[in-house]
């Protein structure tokens, strides 16, 4: 294994040389080979003290112990939902996050998979500190569902009206802009709160009302409610709805990159092994700047969705009856166990008692409108989706987009544009994920996608 593979396994960067030496000694002595070597390294990572007297692994164990003396002696514990569907690499990231000195509590959601710093699906509460990479690159990535006054049968009967509304009302892709910038009060807010937001304001304005690449989408579908919902003011039945997933575009990414670099530069050298888990104290100037910028990015992400839904509904000739929306990739000041902490939800949905939100599946699987149950162990959180089970590269190597698209059409889902890296097969089963978090949320309604638009990643249909 090389240094990069070892770090992915959970070996601190400062200990990779010792790990490579241990692997060399193991293989030369014929003690183990192949997967057995990887298993031995994992055992040392989990309990280095037990290997101090091991001639081959002892030096590596010593390095690990020396490296870890600079993080909290007792990592905070965390509960996992859907553990059987979460790979070990996500747990390695979560365990490291739980060693951060400012960590106070943590949880791992059933859609969890490897991310940068904190895993996607990770929830981390900290004392008086914020971790830019525990919020994420796409700050305030967000879900929004609008229930429309259209008859369900019109999705099929008037397909081209819906198709036209999505095609003309949305824009997807890295750096994409509207030909004519849209207006929204968010652009009248103070973008001078930090240097980076001031510098990015003009680009953010041009990108207002657009979506990025990857798993961002806008789709029409059918929302089914089994009982009346007074908050939504909707009776039982089936409704046409518009669902979107998008965030804070390039401006949010720039904020994350800028303040993560500042956080890492401010850390004492003894914390170098924490890498992207660097933090900023909230009572520092830099911490306050990041908090202001993050808050602004949350308002900007909400404005993006508002414009998308306004444009699409207008083009369709529909009126909005009710809306549901929520952030993920954000940090909130909350009270847990009687004290204020900063709760980071990276790819996790707020789920306090009675709090409404949307948890999507895939382009062919349902999304669910939910209400939180306020579970203390999850820090009032739930999953933000089904969660990936396959990397984008592997997805492109595995699936033929033309075949998948044809199969989806036979199943009644028409995809206007998307990439092979977002086909349903790359995601976990959302139904299983919802069962695994039945103690976290109550299902209010089910949304089944019918017409989907995403960013085309450049995949070409194969003949």
- The position carrying tokens 């990739």 is 329
Whether 306 and 390 map to the same domain: the answer is yes
Whether 200 and 305 map to the same domain: the answer is yes
pLDDT score for 463: 27
When divided into structural domains, the chain yields a total of 2
d(Cα 342, Cα 358) in Å, to the nearest integer? 22
Region of residue 447 (phi > 0: left; psi between -120 and 50: alpha; otherwise: beta):
beta
pLDDT score for 72: 60
The distance from CA 204 to its chain's CA centroid, rounded to whole angstroms, is 21
Whether 389 and 308 map to the same domain: the answer is yes
User: Of 26, 48, 68, which one is at a domain's C-terminal end?
Assistant: 68
Q: What is the pLDDT of residues 373-407, one digit of tens each?
A: 999 999 999 999 999 998 888 888 899 888 899 99
pLDDT score for 34: 84
Structural domain includes residue 179: yes
pLDDT score for 274: 81
pLDDT score for 169: 96
CA distances from 351 to 183, 282, 433 (A): 32, 24, 15
pLDDT score for 328: 95
pLDDT score for 459: 44
pLDDT score for 229: 95
pLDDT score for 121: 97
Phi, psi of 162 (to 5 degrees): -65, -40
Q: What is the CATH number of the domain that holds 211?
A: 3.90.1860.10
Q: Which portions of the chain are predicted below pLDDT 50?
A: 459-463
The distance from CA 357 to its chain's CA centroid, rounded to whole angstroms, is 15
User: Of 42, 68, 94, which one is at a domain's C-terminal end?
Assistant: 68
For residue 238, the enclosing domain spans 140-248+293-322+350-454
Whether 297 and 205 map to the same domain: the answer is yes
pLDDT score for 8: 83
pLDDT score for 49: 80
Q: Which of 32, 38, 36, 31 is nearest to 1 (CA)?
A: 38
Whether 429 and 303 map to the same domain: the answer is yes
The pairing of strands 103-113 and 120-126 is antiparallel
pLDDT score for 457: 59
Total-model pTM: 0.83
Structural domain includes residue 93: no
Whether 315 and 226 map to the same domain: the answer is yes
Whether 146 and 226 map to the same domain: the answer is yes
pLDDT score for 64: 81
Phi, psi of 73 (to 5 degrees): -65, -35
């Amino acid at each position: 294994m090389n240094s990069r593979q070892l770090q992915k396994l959970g070996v601190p960067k400062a200990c990779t040389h010792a790990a490579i030496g241990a692997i060399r000694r193991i293989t030369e002595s014929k003690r183990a080979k192949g997967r057995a070597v990887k298993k031995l390294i994992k055992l040392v990572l989990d309990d280095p003290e037990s290997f101090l007297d091991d001639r081959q692994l002892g030096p590596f164990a010593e390095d690990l112990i020396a490296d870890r003396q600079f993080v909290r002696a007792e990592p905070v514990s965390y509960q996992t939902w859907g553990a059987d569907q979460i790979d070990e690499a996500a747990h390695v990231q979560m365990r490291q996050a739980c060693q951060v000195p400012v960590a106070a509590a943590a949880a791992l959601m059933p859609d969890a998979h490897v991310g940068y710093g904190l895993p996607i699906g990770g929830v981390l509460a900290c004392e008086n500190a914020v971790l830019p990479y525990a919020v994420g690159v796409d700050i305030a990535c967000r879900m929004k569902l609008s229930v429309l006054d259209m008859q369900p049968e019109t999705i099929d009967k008037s397909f081209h009206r819906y198709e036209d509304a999505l095609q003309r009302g949305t824009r997807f892709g890295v750096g994409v802009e509207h030909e004519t910038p849209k207006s929204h009060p968010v652009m009248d807010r103070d973008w001078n709160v930090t240097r980076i937001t001031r510098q990015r304001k003009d680009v953010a304005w041009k990108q207002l009302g657009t979506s990025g690449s990857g798993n961002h989408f806008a789709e029409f579908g059918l929302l089914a409610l089994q009982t009346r919902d007074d908050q939504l003011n909707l009776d039982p039945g089936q409704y046409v709805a518009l669902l979107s997933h998008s965030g804070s575009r390039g401006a949010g990414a720039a904020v994350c990159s800028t303040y993560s670099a500042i956080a890492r530069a401010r850390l004492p050298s003894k914390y170098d092994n924490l890498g992207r888990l660097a933090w900023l104290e909230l009572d520092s100037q830099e911490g306050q700047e990041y908090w202001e910028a993050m808050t602004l990015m949350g308002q900007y992400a909400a404005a993006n969705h508002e414009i998308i839904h306004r444009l699409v509904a207008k083009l369709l000739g529909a009126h909005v009856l009710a809306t549901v929306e929520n952030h993920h990739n954000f940090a909130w000041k909350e009270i847990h166990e009687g004290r204020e902490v900063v709760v980071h939800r990276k790819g996790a949905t707020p789920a306090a008692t009675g709090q409404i939100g949307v948890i999507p599946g895939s382009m062919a699987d349902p999304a669910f409108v939910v209400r939180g149950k306020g579970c203390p162990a999850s820090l009032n959180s739930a999953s933000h989706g089904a969660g990936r089970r396959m990397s984008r590269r592997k997805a492109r190597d595995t699936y033929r987009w033309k075949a998948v698209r044809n199969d989806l059409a036979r199943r009644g889902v028409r995809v206007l544009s998307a990439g092979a890296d977002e086909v349903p097969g790359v995601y976990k089963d959302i139904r299983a994920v919802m069962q695994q978090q039945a103690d976290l949320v109550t299902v209010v309604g089910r949304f089944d996608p019918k017409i989907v638009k995403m960013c085309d990643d450049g995949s070409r249909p194969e003949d």
